[in-house]
Amino acid sequence: MVTVYDVPADELIELVQTDLKKKIKMPEWAGFVKTGPGRQRQPQQDGWWWVRAASILRRIYVDGPVGVGRLRTWYGGRKDRGVRTSKTYKAGGKIIRFHLQELEKIGMIQIKDKKGRIITAAGQKYMDGMANKVSKGGTSKSSSK
């Protein structure tokens, strides 16, 4: 049986995000926000909202239980401060919290006490099924190597 650990993360996230587009709706405000204080502009990639949702779902599968603070650290980065040295900033929490709430609504994750979110049995089955599709599909990235 193929699991999330057996397939490339980028190919899995790409497949999951196309499926999540049918299940999760992007709010109106998402087109105008930055993903954190370390960014200068909002994301330019089409479908970045669902890519982030798929990435968060995979991160919870791999690392769970995971809280918002840990995910903010994971998605944070360096801020370009001009001539001054760069500093590390955490990502914004609103986008991450919103994704976690949406993934809870569709039954992929659940809250585990105060430790954070964990993946549900349905979420694990979904992710393993997607990983199986990636391994059997032989996407263009893996076949060109």
Residue 141 has pLDDT above 60, yes or no: no
CA gyration radius, the chain: 16
| pLDDT tens digits along 53-101 | 999 999 999 998 999 999 999 999 898 889 999 999 999 899 999 999 9
Tokens of 45: 């990639």
**Domain segments of the chain as ranges:** 4-140
Question: What's the pLDDT score for residue 142?
Answer: 47
Query: In the predicted model, what is the mean pLDDT of the chain?
Result: 87
Instruction: Give the domain 4-140 fold.
Output: Arc Repressor Mutant, subunit A (1.10.10)
Task: Give Dmax (Cα) for the chain.
Answer: 51
Tens of pLDDT, residue by residue over 87-96, are 999 998 999 9
Please tell me the pTM assigned to this model: 0.86
